[in-house]
Structure 1
Amino acid sequence: MSTAAYLHERFIASARQSAQAVAVVEPGKGSITYGELDSLSDRLRDRLTLLGVCRGDRVGIFLRKSVDAVAALLGTLKAGAAYVPVDPGAPAARGAYILHNCAVKVVIVEAALADKLGAELAGLGAMPAMIVVAEERAGGSGLRTALDAADEQAMAPTTLSIHNQPQDLAYILYTSGSTGQPKGVMLSHENAVTFVDWCSETFAPTAADRFSSHAPFHFDLSILDIHVCLKHGATLVLVGEEIGKDAPRLAQLIADERISIWYSAPSILALLAQFGNLARHDYSALRQVLFAGEVFPVKHLRALCELLPKPRYCNLYGPTETNVCTWYEVPLPIPAERSTPYPIGKVCSHLRACVLNEEGATVARGSEGELAISGPGVMQGYWALPEQTARGFFNADDGTAWYRTGDIVSEAEDACYTYLGRRDRMVKRRGYRVELGEIEAGLYRHAKIKEAAVLAFADEQAGVSITAFLSSHEEKRPSLIEIKRFCAENLPLYMIPDRFVWFDSLPKTSTDKIDYQRLKETC
């Protein structure tokens, strides 16, 4: 493992070593070299310092994915602060809540979003300084222009990049909270560096690699995309939102940009397999396909592997609180008779894992229990939520703090973990324990079902009722009789949903996961 104390150290080293190499590409718009990106992020560091940003402060990033956004997070890190990326496509009120919640000192925001965000922040009594960046500028020109204008008003003196300590915050990623308000997951430089270095030893990237950047920057998948790439002097290819869910255009981009390491949620890869016309393109550069964030239905994974048989396929598992904590390399070819998802694999080398029962005791290998993780990759806690932080950890007698993932797993004899479902998605029905994820897995076996999400609702008579939300590959959907007959053949009687609701496509969050909250609101 590296002895680097702070996340941006390796980027600085790459820029010194390969200043002329291309660091980031915005397809169809432009690119920036390592030397140029280093210089631009230095300028932002100096401006942030002039605005009073110090080690330990927070800086909000309210930008669409761009070279500007990459430079913004690097400049924030160089100033010693933690970056807080916010979804610019979400309501401004949500973004303002996040930025106010963690008391950002400065916000770097797109011009088109600045007025509305500023009004929302003012309504909360927050008035952070703003660096306003003109949108639709490529190659870092938007941020560069904003800094030029600021320098005309008051020149920012040159400063030095901060040498952070391992426990200093590097970034805060906000996730959905059980209270209905987002909660901030605090990740330190140690958390990030140990994860990035694990990726280096596991996937062996080189300067010749071209990484996809499909995940939005407020999603934890982006940590691998950005920081592993920049550590190795490779090229980061930004995938814009307008292309990211358009299978034919995305398939073309992967081929045209010669992407060699791809990382995304399985739902995107399933779309590519079904609708990307992959056989038309040259994917000889693609050597690793990584996926995380949700279960990959085997029928879609098999279809992808048959279309693209040469890359290495790896299932990466982990909540935002740990980033990736287990991983599994899919053995190819996938047998035709396999219908169950692959395991989430073995614990990463920089972490430890155990399986706990409800009382916090470890269970015997092979038994079901909650996966808990410890080690230097585990978050510091939730921002300003000490009680939730305390509930999220189990403290062992030896003083080890184990983060409770909420995921139910079992451990096989080879130390591989199999994901069984969420602790909080388990319900009792007719005296039986029912895991909603198991119903979803059963529904995915139907050849015509494209997406499946299952929710439980309180029912005065039955105690709980179960609704399945579905979308179909075909215009003609299965009839109610057909789908009930299929369920009877594939699920225990007590798991058959009471109700089936069809959509053209299930609603998604900004990170391309099925939006269960919006589905709840439809009922």
Structure 2
Amino acid sequence: MSLLKKIDQWAVTQPDTLAFIWRDRTLTYGELKAYSDSLAHWIAAQYSDDAPIMVYGHMQPEMIVSFLACVKAGHAYIPVDTSIPTERVLRIAQSSGAKLMLAASDAPDLPLTVKAGDALKALFMTDKPAPIKQENDKNFYIIYTSGSTGNPKGVQITHSCLTSFTDWMTSDFDLGTGKVFLNQAPFSFDLSVMDLYPSLVTGGTIWAIDKDMIAKPKELFASLAASGTEVWTSTPSFAEMCLMEPSFNTEMLPSLRTFLFCGEVLSNNVARQLSERFPNARIMNTYGPTEATVAVTKIEVTKEILDQYQSLPVGRCKSDCRILITKEDGTIAAEGEKGEIVIVGPSVSTGYLGSPELTEKSFTIINGERAYKTGDAGYMMDDLLFYNGRLDFQIKLHGYRMELEEIEHHLRSSSYVKSVVVLPIQKDGKYDHLLAVIVPEDHTFAKEFQLTSAIKKEVASLLPNYMIPRKFMYQSSIPMTPNGKADRKKLMSEVTA
């Protein structure tokens, strides 16, 4: 049974079950099917080609109605969050060739914009099911990520890519059926796919929290307490932010049984705190780039794993894919030897929309299967993948090559450090020194230089002197991007202003 039909079947067996909750707005499975079918009929009548359709908004229920309607009508959808600047929205429209943008909220004034709610109101609600035009090699969605040239890249995810991912999630993660999934990530960030489709195909309920809630902790934690969340999906940074609230524990979320983490490094410290506050919940660490459909590895972070590994592994590869570690000369690295992570299998994207040169640079075919060269550094040990940061996060400072994320990892091991971002500071066009921006743990030092001295003393046995940042800055929090990751660009602009 196709993914869309699995979702639609819940409208027959449990039409009144809530599929989606956002603030005071809800959407049942019966409504999801009826609205998406009707909107799909309208799209099919208005647009006979298969050009992708942009869907603009944040956490409105019309977003997922529009997603399913687009696909049912034979079009891939492009999620565009309200946090995305208008200029970037225009570039996505131009590069994708989209002729329609369904807007679930106020949107940039573009000729191709149609309000999703207005489109539905203009329709008579049909009892006829949408003619689902599904092909495994046809795009299901396209997510735009940042490109090194400054132009966004459209990652194409096909029906078969998403089916491979969703089948793995529902079969290997013991999620069950009818669970409440937390949705923290905006739909333009593929981490949201980790809760959206596993929830919908298992008859679950998505509890969405938005960016305004996240900016107001009192409102955020009130929403979490009311959610009944059983499956938590977020970046580690978002969980780390929540841990600053003392009441964030099993009393606030008594039904929580599974943490799903992706998108960033999960530190040993954060995982350990979560295991202490939520002793009944599993902590699942995963890894994967957008180009390989969210994630391809997983591991449950148990007490034994926490005690054995200071730097946590990201797990074993799912059964229908393979992980290769390649050296600079293209040969396969030995066990324990670092290299570039290459993902092979059906989860891998078909490439970047309309960008054959970029596609050729990062994608290839290995033994007849699609493969993606991630640009991530890592190594394999005992069948486990260990992530070692971005290859492009490597810098050369005073003749030494170093990885910023490795330095961050060791600084986090200090008893005085809650979270940290290391920034390379340039002078006269070259790297001059490293700056550590730190959120400190509670301490008794009267002066910042005393705290800095204590941190340096603790990490001196872990890092060579040339890798210890020259300057330290202390803040109450690390700014986050709308996707819930540490906002390195904002930090850099603040410290260099």
Asked if Structure 1 and Structure 2 have the same fold, meaning a TM-score greater than 0.5 normalized by the shorter chain, the answer is yes
Q: Call closer, same or farther: CA 1:131–1:276 in 2, change over 3 Å.
A: farther
The reply on whether 1:514 has 2:497 as its aligned counterpart is no
Q: Within 5 Å, which residues of 2 pair with 1:116-135?
A: 117-118=108-109, 121=110, 127-128=111-112, 130-133=113-116
Q: Within 5 Å, which residues of 2 pair with 1:302-321?
A: 302-321=272-291
| 1:254 Cα deviation after fit | 3.3
Deviations 1:470-522 (A, max 9, x none): 33456989623532552254121110123334444333211011122233334
Q: Which residue of 1 aligns with 2:201?
A: 231
Q: Which residue of 2 aligns with 1:140?
A: none
Name the aligned partner's letter for residue 181 of structure 2: F
The reply on whether 1:33 has 2:28 as its aligned counterpart is yes
Q: Call closer, same or farther: CA 1:463–1:42 in 2, change over 3 Å.
A: closer
| 1:48 Cα deviation after fit | 1.3
The reply on whether 1:182 has 2:165 as its aligned counterpart is no
The reply on whether 1:377 has 2:347 as its aligned counterpart is yes
Q: Which residue of 2 aligns with 1:107?
A: 101
Work out which of the residue numbers 86, 93, 102 in structure 2 matches 1:92: 86
Contact 1:207/1:235 (<8 A) preserved = no
Q: Which residue of 2 aligns with 1:136?
A: none
CA distance in 1, matches of 2:14, 2:222: 29
Q: Which residue of 2 aligns with 1:268?
A: 238
Q: Within 5 Å, which residues of 2 pair with 1:496-507?
A: 496-507=468-479
Contact 2:73/2:132 (<8 A) preserved = yes
Name the aligned partner's letter for residue 78 of structure 1: K
| 1:228 Cα deviation after fit | 1.0
Q: Which residue of 1 aligns with 2:169?
A: 199
| 1:219 Cα deviation after fit | 0.9
RMSD: 2.6
The reply on whether 1:288 has 2:258 as its aligned counterpart is yes
Which consecutive residues of structure 2, in runs of 5 or more, have no partner in the other structure?
none
CA distance in 2, matches of 1:229, 1:311: 18
Contact 1:247/1:276 (<8 A) preserved = no
Deviations 1:280-306 (A, max 9, x none): 825332111111111122222211110
| 1:425 Cα deviation after fit | 1.0
**Secondary structure in 2 matching 1:278:** coil
| 1:462 Cα deviation after fit | 7.7
CA distance in 2, matches of 1:488, 1:282: 38
Q: Within 5 Å, which residues of 2 pair with 1:139-218?
A: 143=117, 146-148=119-121, 150-151=122-123, 160-218=130-188
Residues 193-202 or 95-104, more deviating = 95-104
Q: Which residue of 2 aligns with 1:487?
A: 456
Q: Call closer, same or farther: CA 1:62–1:465 in 2, change over 3 Å.
A: same
CA distance in 2, matches of 1:478, 1:386: 55
The reply on whether 1:64 has 2:58 as its aligned counterpart is yes
The reply on whether 1:329 has 2:312 as its aligned counterpart is no
Q: Call closer, same or farther: CA 1:448–1:243 in 2, change over 3 Å.
A: farther
| 1:110 Cα deviation after fit | 4.2
Q: How many residues align?
A: 490
CA distance in 2, matches of 1:463, 1:262: 39
Q: Call closer, same or farther: CA 1:159–1:302 in 2, change over 3 Å.
A: closer
Residues 296-305 or 163-172, more deviating = 296-305
The reply on whether 1:49 has 2:18 as its aligned counterpart is no
CA distance in 2, matches of 1:190, 1:37: 23
**Secondary structure in 2 matching 1:275:** coil
Deviations 1:429-478 (A, max 9, x none): 34432111111112222344333222324445986432223334569896
Q: Call closer, same or farther: CA 1:206–1:23 in 2, change over 3 Å.
A: same
Residues 203-212 or 181-190, more deviating = 203-212
CA distance in 2, matches of 1:220, 1:477: 44
Contact 1:302/1:334 (<8 A) preserved = no
Which consecutive residues of structure 1, in runs of 5 or more, have no partner in the other structure?
122-126, 134-142
Contact 1:73/1:83 (<8 A) preserved = yes
Contact 1:87/1:95 (<8 A) preserved = no
| 1:182 Cα deviation after fit | 1.6
Contact 2:412/2:418 (<8 A) preserved = yes
TM-score (norm 1): 0.87
Deviations 1:52-96 (A, max 9, x none): 154x32111111212111111111111111110112123222222
Q: Which residue of 2 aligns with 1:351?
A: 321
TM-score (norm 2): 0.91
Residues 237-246 or 71-80, more deviating = 237-246
Q: Call closer, same or farther: CA 1:483–1:102 in 2, change over 3 Å.
A: same
Contact 2:346/2:370 (<8 A) preserved = no
CA distance in 2, matches of 1:331, 1:304: 11
Residues 163-172 or 45-54, more deviating = 45-54
Q: Call closer, same or farther: CA 1:278–1:505 in 2, change over 3 Å.
A: closer
Deviations 1:166-203 (A, max 9, x none): 01001111111111222111111111111000001112
Q: Which residue of 2 aligns with 1:75?
A: 69
Q: Which residue of 2 aligns with 1:23?
A: 19
| 1:346 Cα deviation after fit | 0.7
Residues 463-472 or 73-82, more deviating = 463-472
Q: Call closer, same or farther: CA 1:58–1:226 in 2, change over 3 Å.
A: same
Q: Which residue of 2 aligns with 1:137?
A: none
Contact 1:175/1:184 (<8 A) preserved = yes
Q: Which residue of 2 aligns with 1:452?
A: 420
CA distance in 2, matches of 1:478, 1:445: 21
| 1:250 Cα deviation after fit | 3.6
